[in-house]
Amino acid sequence: MRLALAEAALAPGHGDVPVGAVALVGGEVVARRHNERERAQDPLAHAEVLALGDAAGALGTWRLDALTLVVSLEPCPMCAGALVAARVARVVFGAADPKAGACGSLYNLCADPRLNHAVDVTHGVLADEAGALLTAFFAGRRRPARTGRPARATGPRGSDLTR
């Protein structure tokens, strides 16, 4: 998890949410990535998906049934779906994500009996440290300019909802 946290710490350098993922087979690192959605302008560039792609390339197969993915934040539905599709053996995550987590918090795609594969889940590993990275990142982004008035809510195409 310390490697995943170190990877996550790289993401804010290019404006991305600090999430890091490390792929292991037999205790050896085969891939490590962090979020790159902003950098790549790619909605699929989550740390987990990038690490799974790199691991598949390194191992020469999309069937990652011997792989453990260690990730700093609980995977979202897209990433949990990728874990299932890639037949990943196990996911270990740090901070839970009550708004988008799909490995037990909001959904549990990794243990859904309707799907063709189940992924073992270990949660809460260094959760406080993972959560602190996220909290610091979002606190920095949410500091409004000190104008003495509240920020305006906007709707589609920037329309002002306060009128």
- Residues belonging to the active site: 48
Q: Where are the alpha helices (DSSP H) in the chain?
A: 2-8, 37-40, 47-59, 77-85, 127-142
DSSP β-bridge partners for residue 34: 20
How far apart CA 63 and CA 78 sit, in angstroms, is 17
Give the DSSP H or E segment for 133. Answer: helix 127-142
Q: Using alpha carbons only, what angle is made at residue 133 by residues 140 and 64, rounded to the nearest 5 degrees?
A: 130
Question: In this structure, are strands 67-73 and 20-25 parallel, antiparallel, or unpaired?
Answer: antiparallel
